[in-house]
Amino acid sequence: MFTINPFSQLSGLISPLAMQVYVLVMILLVAGGTLLDVIHKKSAKYFFNNAEKARTRATRSVSGVEKVEILLKTIAEDVLTSAEFCNQRRRIAHLLTMYGFILFAATTAIMIFVFIDSPTPAILPLLWHAGALMLCAGGYWFWFFIRVDVAAEGNPWYRVMPADLFVLSLLATATFALIWSVLLQTAGVGGWSNLFFVLFIVASTVLFGSVLWSKFAHMFFKPAAAFQKRVAKADGSRDGLPAPADKPAQFGLGIKRLQPKNY
């Protein structure tokens, strides 16, 4: 069941060209949404201004070779292994979601652009389903058990904020894709499989079309911020920052807690 290209089964209902155009439109939406996000939130301006201020505090010059080494370390630790997460559960959930999304998106593009009209190697549909399952495992684990406002503040899991649009549309895309594929390969085109295919398309359109309002663009800024932080540490500019205010070690918020009074 999981070795069949689900998109090739749709070629009689939807033309391969239409599927390919849809994928290209989603890529353009991500690129355009990210660019608008940079302009609207002035993220790039803040990033470069912050880097310029850091250079004025630098105590040494970082060579090009050092920057390449820092870049490779940033990719290895902050991008590929998400070492910045101190919470092990959050780190595992993030890695499952990240690599699941990469597998899911990459194999979708390959199956639609390369093998839509020809026999598909069994490994591609297997990776597509595995990616969707990994995404769901990491995403649902995060949504129900790890979110800060749920785990720490005791809020219900169904409390939704605008910032949750990304993870919810991502989960909906993977979930509806899996259900659609299973129904398609067991019952064929039509009926429930068509319904879940439509839901899959709606969810993916929301995911890629809402970059400006969701946290999708955050994945592009985070590695750059991590790289800048490492460079600042190497050139000594981070050491030039104002020293933090004295704070009680027990509470860690810079707030002196009053002793309880007896009335």
Q: For the whole model, what pTM was predicted?
A: 0.76
Which range is most confident: 63-77, 124-138, 159-173? 124-138
For tokens 């820092």, the residue is: 70
Residue pLDDT, tens place only, 94-144: 999 999 999 999 999 999 999 988 899 999 999 999 999 999 999 999 988
Is the CB of residue 208 less than 8 Å from the CB of residue 30?
yes
- Answer whether residue 49 shows pLDDT above 80: no
Whole-Å CA distances, 132 to 78, 189, 200, 261: 23, 21, 12, 55
The pLDDT, as a whole number, for residue 239 is 57
Query: For the ranges 33-37, 125-129, 170-174, 252-256, which has the lowest average pLDDT?
Result: 252-256
Name the residue with higher pLDDT: 244 or 252.
Answer: 244
The pLDDT, as a whole number, for residue 95 is 93
Q: How far apart are CA 128 and CA 143, in angstroms?
A: 22
Helices and strands (H and E) in the chain: how many: 9, 0
Name the residue with higher pLDDT: 148 or 103.
Answer: 103
